[in-house]
């Protein structure tokens, strides 16, 4: 689906300062070599299996299925991965690649902190230095993850510029990369940014849909009717969709964060409210005002609180291969609590956006139909914030 220069339809590209061009070209060349290298792939598979705990379980949510009374619901348990989210898949791949390229230092942005923790983890494992940029607002929302990163040996820099959230962390990581390139790899956490990042990150996350397909065929003897995942930049979603893109009967549904509603300014639903633009190295859809200024987006979920969406999602939206829906804070929090009480699984508030949409559609589907929801991360990190949302004065 990628053509030259990393385009997905009209989306993607390499809209970055000249200073970084040779760095992304070098990365692309290294990736094109190692992605077909047997030893590299063996090493990565071993890390996936022995270190991250793959393959992740595809769990039949029996109580949820009974309660909803419609389609059979399966949960793809990325929350059970080491570090508690799908982020580790991409990070192990990129860290290994960086090491092969002779880099000694990883930098990363993080929103909820999951990608930062994963990067700090891989850096510790592989003996690389690590600096994580995190919006100051998010360091407060996700204080525990800040501590985890420090414990793992990473330096965490609280970004105060702009809205002090994920987009500013990305901007600051890009600025840092332009100032120090030779020993540093920018371990981008989602399927966004300049080519080749959207492709590299997708390929490392595609293990999710590869496993779902095998597991569904084993358990049900057929493909699912729908795959649902939450979308910020969109890495767990593209990972969950990728091996089903050619299977036209499988509905692919991405759940964006509507925040306080898509008719308010406090939203992060890019497909619902954004328009075509150029930002953070890519052409895609972005939340922006009429004068082309990037919007200060909002969601209860720090991981979905991003004003753009990966270029491949923008393309899947254009060609109507995937559907993108917006889920509000209220719906996500309800789903967070629902899954905890119904299945004994506390999902990340990001993943709860996907659960919320399944709660809407599963009851209207036939009993012989199946839904797979990617549970991209676990919700321990969110408990204090959700308690506060419900009016309890709880702090970590």
Q: Which residue has the tokens 């949820």?
A: 64
The catalytic position among 109, 211, 256, 331 is 109
In the complex, minimum distance from the CB of residue 195 to other proteins, in angstroms, rounded to a whole number:
9
Determine whether 26 is an active site residue: no
Determine whether 109 is an active site residue: yes
In the complex, minimum distance from the CB of residue 331 to other proteins, in angstroms, rounded to a whole number:
29
Q: Among 11-19, 105-113, 223-231, 244-252, which window interacts with other proteins (CB under 8 A)?
A: 11-19
Q: Does 292 bind other proteins (CB under 8 A)?
A: yes
Among 113, 232, 239, 281, binds other proteins (CB under 8 A): 281
Contact 341, 322 (CB under 8 A): no
Q: Among 8-16, 209-217, 250-258, 384-392, which window interacts with other proteins (CB under 8 A)?
A: 8-16
Determine whether 167 is an active site residue: no
Q: Does 198 bind other proteins (CB under 8 A)?
A: no
Q: Does 36 bind other proteins (CB under 8 A)?
A: no
Q: Write a three-state SS string for the chain.
A: CCCHHHEECCEEEEECCHHHHHHHHHHHHHHHHHCCCHHHHHHHHHHHHHHCCCCCCEEECHHHHHHHCCCEEEEEEHHHCHHHECHHHHHHHHHHHHHHCCCCEEEEEECCCHHHHHHHHHHHHHCCEEEEEEEHHHHHHCHHHHHHHHHCCCEEEEECCCCCCHHHHHHHHHHHHHHCCCCEEECCCCCCCCCCHHHHHHHHHCHHHHHHHHHHHHHCCCCCCEEEEECCCCHHHHHHHHHHCCCCCCEEEEEEEEECCCCCCCCCCHHHHCEEEEECEEEEEECECCCCCECCCCCCCCCCCCCECCHHHHHHHHCCCEEEEEEEHHHHHHHHHHHHHHHCCCECHHHHHHHHHHHHHHHHCCCCCEEEEEECEECHHHHHHHHHHCCCCCCC
Given CA atoms 301, 303, 309, 312 in this order, what sign does their dihedral have?
Answer: negative
Stretch 332-351 residues interacting with other proteins (CB under 8 A): none
In the complex, minimum distance from the CB of residue 210 to other proteins, in angstroms, rounded to a whole number:
31
In the complex, minimum distance from the CB of residue 283 to other proteins, in angstroms, rounded to a whole number:
8
Q: Among 59-67, 99-107, 236-244, 278-286, which window interacts with other proteins (CB under 8 A)?
A: 278-286
Can you tell me the distance from the alpha carbon of 203 to that of 243, in angstroms, rounded to the nearest whole number? 10
Among 74, 279, 306, 357, binds other proteins (CB under 8 A): 279
In the complex, minimum distance from the CB of residue 274 to other proteins, in angstroms, rounded to a whole number:
11
* CA angle in degrees (0–180, nearest 5) for 78-79-82: 90
Judged by beta carbon, residue 93 or residue 193, the one nearer other proteins is 193
Q: Does 275 bind other proteins (CB under 8 A)?
A: yes
Judged by beta carbon, residue 41 or residue 178, the one nearer other proteins is 178
Q: Does 161 bind other proteins (CB under 8 A)?
A: yes
Q: Among 64-72, 94-102, 149-157, 288-296, which window interacts with other proteins (CB under 8 A)?
A: 288-296
In the complex, minimum distance from the CB of residue 162 to other proteins, in angstroms, rounded to a whole number:
6
The catalytic position among 240, 299, 351, 376 is 376
List 243's β-bridge partners, or say none.
Answer: none
Q: Does 9 bind other proteins (CB under 8 A)?
A: no
Contact 144, 378 (CB under 8 A): no
Among 187, 201, 230, 294, binds other proteins (CB under 8 A): 294
Q: Does 168 bind other proteins (CB under 8 A)?
A: yes
Q: Does 5 bind other proteins (CB under 8 A)?
A: yes
Given CA atoms 334, 340, 345, 348 in this order, what sign does their dihedral have?
Answer: positive
In the complex, minimum distance from the CB of residue 99 to other proteins, in angstroms, rounded to a whole number:
21
Q: Does 13 bind other proteins (CB under 8 A)?
A: yes
Q: Among 252-260, 287-295, 331-339, 386-394, which window interacts with other proteins (CB under 8 A)?
A: 287-295
Residues in touch with other proteins (CB under 8 A): 5, 13-23, 161-162, 167-168, 171, 174-175, 178-181, 275-281, 283, 286, 288, 291-294
Catalytic residues: 87, 109, 376
């Amino acid at each position: 689906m990628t053509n030259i220069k990393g385009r997905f339809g009209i989306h993607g590209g390499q809209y970055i300062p000249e200073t970084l061009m040779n760095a992304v070209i070098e990365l692309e060349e290294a990736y094109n070599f190692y992605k077909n290298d047997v030893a590299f792939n063996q090493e990565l598979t071993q890390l996936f299996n022995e270190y991250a705990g793959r393959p992740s379980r595809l769990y039949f949510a029996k109580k949820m299925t009974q309660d909803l009374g419609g389609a059979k619901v399966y949960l793809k348990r990325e929350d059970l991965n080491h570090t508690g989210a799908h982020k580790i898949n991409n990070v192990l791949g990129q860290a290994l690649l960086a090491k092969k390229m002779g880099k000694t230092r990883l930098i990363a942005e993080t929103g909820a902190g999951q990608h930062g923790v994963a990067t700090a983890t891989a850096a510790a494992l592989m003996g690389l230095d690590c600096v994580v940029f995190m919006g100051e607002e998010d360091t407060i929302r996700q204080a525990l993850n800040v501590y985890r990163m420090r414990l793992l040996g990473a330096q965490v820099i609280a970004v105060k510029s702009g809205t002090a959230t994920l987009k500013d962390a990305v901007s600051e990581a890009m600025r840092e990369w332009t100032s120090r390139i030779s020993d540093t790899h920018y371990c981008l956490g989602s399927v966004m940014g300049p080519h080749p990042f959207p492709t590299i990150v997708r390929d490392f996350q595609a293990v999710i849909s590869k496993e779902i397909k095998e597991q569904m065929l084993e358990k049900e003897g057929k493909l699912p009717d729908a795959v649902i995942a939450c979308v910020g930049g969109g890495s767990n979603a593209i990972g969950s969709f990728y091996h089903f893109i050619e299977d036209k009967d499988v509905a692919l549904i991405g759940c964006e964060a509507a925040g306080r509603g898509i008719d308010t300014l406090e939203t992060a639903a890019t497909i619902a409210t954004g328009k075509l633009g150029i930002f953070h190295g890519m052409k895609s859809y972005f939340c922006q005002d009429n004068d082309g200024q990037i919007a200060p987006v909002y969601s209860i979920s720090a991981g979905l609180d991003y004003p753009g969406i990966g270029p491949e999602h923008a393309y899947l939206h254009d060609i109507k291969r995937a559907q993108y829906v917006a889920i509000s804070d209220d719906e996500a929090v309800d789903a967070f609590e629902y899954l905890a009480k119904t299945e004994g699984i506390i999902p990340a508030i990001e993943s709860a956006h996907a659960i919320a949409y399944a709660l809407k559609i599963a009851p209207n589907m036939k009993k012989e139909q199946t839904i797979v929801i990617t549970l991209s991360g676990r919700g321990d990190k969110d408990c204090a914030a959700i308690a506060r949302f419900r009016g309890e004065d709880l702090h970590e």
